[in-house]
Amino acid sequence: MCRSSAPQSLEMDHHDIVDIDSNIELVNAMLDADPQSWRDHLRIIRTIIATTDMSSITPNQGRKASQIQMIRVCQRVAYADADNGGMLDIGNWCLRQALSLLSLYPNEVGVLELIGRNWLLRAQKSLAKIQLTDPESSSSGASLCYSTSPGDRNRQVAEAEERLYTADYVEARGILLPATEYLQRAVDNARAQDVLTGSLLGDVSLCLFCLRQH
């Protein structure tokens, strides 16, 4: 368990840092074994975020990987139930910490990827609501092709355009835009550093697809 009650800073005791890192790796391993166990880890994750703040740290290459991993695991717990909005207190902490790290490491692929995925996961609630209320939203273009009546086609186009301005569509687009921006920056930097992965490309493609549909 985390023992320190003070936010993580340059003065944080080495043993407290080791303690936090150990807890993060334990949670990560348990999630790998059982992704549905995320609720069991909320208490320890909330303890960690209450005692950790990266807003005042200085560049430290020796700690960077562990800091990124900490945010990644916390974000994994935060959005384990993304369709229902996730745990926003944890998700907001993850975004703040990642943005703090980005100010120190502006070309760090892992940090850009974390921020982009945070926004993408935030969009899932709106996207899930759209899919629930409008299950044909992702195939609306195809559905128009099956209509043989010009009147039907015009009506379907008008209905589709009207849906684009409903609250869920507007919210989804507003969240997907920064998701796409940060993930594309991650791709550009990953390509320049020769560390591009299929997973990262897949996230960008998903964002672009969702934006086209919504």
What pLDDT digit, counting tens, does each position of 53-89 carry? 998 899 999 999 999 999 999 999 999 999 999 999 9
Q: What's the confidence (pLDDT) of residue 145?
A: 39
Is residue 204 scored above 60 in pLDDT? yes
Contact 190, 112 (CB under 8 A): no
Q: What's the confidence (pLDDT) of residue 149?
A: 53
Distance of alpha carbon 158 from alpha carbon 147, whole angstroms: 14
Q: Cα angle vertex 59, ends 94, 66, to 5°?
A: 50
- Render pLDDT for 2-20 as a digit per residue (tens, 0 to 9): 554 445 544 467 788 899 9
User: In a 3-state reduction of DSSP, which class is residue 59?
Assistant: coil
Q: What's the confidence (pLDDT) of residue 139?
A: 44
Cα torsion 210, 196, 97, 91 to 10°: value is 30
Q: What's the confidence (pLDDT) of residue 203?
A: 94
Distance of alpha carbon 117 from alpha carbon 126, whole angstroms: 15
Partners of residue 8 on adjacent β-strands: 52
Q: What's the confidence (pLDDT) of residue 207?
A: 92
Lowest mean pLDDT among 15-19, 125-129, 147-151: 147-151
Partners of residue 52 on adjacent β-strands: 8
Confidence grade of residue 150 (pLDDT, cut at 50, 70, 90): low
Nearest to 94 by CA among 106, 110, 176: 110
Contact 70, 114 (CB under 8 A): no
Q: What average pLDDT does the structure give for the chain? A: 85
Higher pLDDT, residue 161 or 94: 94
- Is the pTM higher than 0.75? yes
